Amino acid sequence: MSDDRNKIVMRAVQEIHDGMYVNLGIGMPTLLASYIPQDLTVMLHSENGLLGIGPYPWEGEEDPDLINAGKETVTAISGASCFDSADSFAMIRGGHIHLAILGGMEVAGNGDLANWMIPGKMVKGMGGAMDLVSGAQRIVVIMEHVNKYGESKVKTACTLPLTGKGVVNRLITDLAVFDFIAGDMVLVELQSGATLEEVRAKTEAAFLISPHLHNGHITEGTQG
């Protein structure tokens, strides 16, 4: 992984706690499966019908019958189970998934999420994203703070088709961690090496700063 992605993944894995049922979205979120501490009992869920995903397999040990929603080969932990998509989505829609960690293309200051398509580009479908943002108990989005053109992906309003309105509970980027509280986006942490000035410069959306902002020394409580 790049340094930026490593920061995101290492911070995101801290969101996973003992006893959780967790769905990892396709792309960067699937990397978390290999970094969950071994002393935690966690059941990773994939909407294509697997509960109990383990780390990525070593080369030569892949099982083509074990894949995640992103069509990547995975492993299964002891006690894992396979089932059809109807049962898998019943778990999601029934509110049985404690946490969904999803990738994002854009997140707006009010917690809107766009992560399933870019107009004009071929997509296979929306997958389970819309069900997850409405059915999982908590939604954490992980993504780079800016796109390849240097434009902020943390928007005043999403310009891409929405996955869900006001659904994001926490956003983790390579620069910062934001919580969404009562319609406001609140900066709660700075990533290692990031500064408040850099976050302000690269964030299109307005945000508040937590009085308990955690990066070792900043404790401001003003608006960003």
> Confidence class of residue 68 from pLDDT cuts 50, 70 and 90?
confident
- CB–CB of 134/167 below 8 Å? yes
pLDDT exceeds cutoff 90 at 216: no
Quick check: 220 pLDDT over 80? Answer: no
Pick from 210, 177, 181: nearest CA to 194? 177
Q: What is the mean pLDDT of residues 143-154?
A: 97
- Active site includes 62? no
Is it the case that residue 219 has pLDDT exceeding 50?
Answer: no
Query: Which CATH number is correct for 3-214, 3.30.420.40, 3.40.720.10, 3.40.1080.10, 3.30.930.10?
Result: 3.40.1080.10
Sign of the dihedral through C-alpha 158, 162, 167, 168: negative
Give 46's strand partners: 50
CA 39 to chain CA centroid, nearest Å: 22
pLDDT in the model for residue 2: 84
> Whole-model pTM?
0.92
The 10s digit of each residue's pLDDT in 33-56 is 999 999 999 999 999 999 999 989
What pLDDT is stored for residue 215 in this prediction? 58
**pLDDT one-digit tens code per residue, 156-180:** 999 999 999 999 999 999 999 999 9
pLDDT tier for residue 119 given thresholds of 50, 70 and 90: confident
Residue 123 has pLDDT above 70, yes or no: no
Residue 118 has a pLDDT of 76
